[in-house]
Amino acid sequence: MPIPPFALAALSLLSAALPLHAAEPAGAASPAAPDLAAGLGQMAVGLAVVVAVLLACLWAIKRLSAPRGTAASALKVLGAVAVGPRERVVLVGLGDKVLVLGVAPGQVRTLHVLGADELPVPVPGAPAAGMKDFPAWLRQAMERRQ
C-alpha cells in the first residue's frame, strides 16, 4: 500500500524540526522569547503530526471501505421505508431489475422483483400519496371546527 503524500509531508516537517531543537546549547541562559518561540514551534509540529495522522486514517478508511468488484458497484439503493422499529422495506436497483427487499435483524428477504420500467416515477410538483387534496381537507377541518 503506497504512503499518501500528506504523510510524507508530515514526516518531513517532523524531521526538519528535530535538528533545530537539538542545536540549542544546553547550559546557555536564554530570555523568555526563544522559549516561547520554541514552544510554539513544538506545538505547531505536534499539530501537524496529529492532522497528518488523522488524514492518513481517513484515507485508509476510504480506501478500505470502497466496494470491491463489479457486483457491488452494480447495486444501487433506490429508497427505503421503515415498517417497524427494526424492519425496513428497501428498493434496490440491479441492472434492469428492481428488487423489493424486506430487511429485518439477521435476515433479508426478496418480497418482489420488478422491471425498471414498472417502477412508478413521481411527477415533480404532484402531491404525495397521503396529501392528494390537502387544501380541501384543510377547508373541511376548518368548517367542522366552526
Query: 80-108, pLDDT tens digit by residue?
Result: 888 889 999 998 888 888 899 999 999 99
Does the pLDDT value for residue 17 go beyond 60?
no
**96 occurs within a structural domain:** yes
Give the separation between CA 121 and CA 129, rounded to whole angstroms: 13
Residue 103 has a pLDDT of 93
If you average pLDDT over residues 107-130, what whole number do you get? 74
Does the pLDDT value for residue 29 go beyond 70?
no
**134 occurs within a structural domain:** no
**127 occurs within a structural domain:** no
pLDDT bracket for residue 121 (50, 70, 90) = low
Residue 105 has a pLDDT of 92
Which comes out higher in pLDDT, residue 125 or 61? 61
Residues 45 and 82 in one domain: no
* Residue 1 CB burial class (10 angstroms; 0-12, 13-18, ≥19): exposed
Residue 39 has a pLDDT of 87
Cell of 77: 439503493
Residues 60 and 90 in one domain: no
Does the pLDDT value for residue 75 go beyond 70?
yes
Residues 74 and 45 in one domain: no
**Is pTM, for the whole model, over 0.75?**
no
Residues 53 and 19 in one domain: yes
CA distances 38 to 9, 27, 59, Å, are 21, 16, 31
Residues 75 and 29 in one domain: no
**135 occurs within a structural domain:** no
**124 occurs within a structural domain:** no
Residues 58 and 75 in one domain: no
Q: What's the domain count of the chain?
A: 2
Q: What is the 3-state secondary structure (H, E, C) of the chain?
A: CCCCHHHHHHHHHHHHHHHHHHCCCCCCCCCHHHHHHHHHHHHHHHHHHHHHHHHHHHHHHHHHHCCCHHHHHHEEEEEEEECCCCCEEEEEEECCEEEEEEEECCEEEEEEEEEHHHCCCCCCCCCCHHHCCHHHHHHHHHHHHC
Write out the residue range of the structural domain in which residue 40 sits.
5-65
Residues 9 and 51 in one domain: yes
Residue 138 has a pLDDT of 80
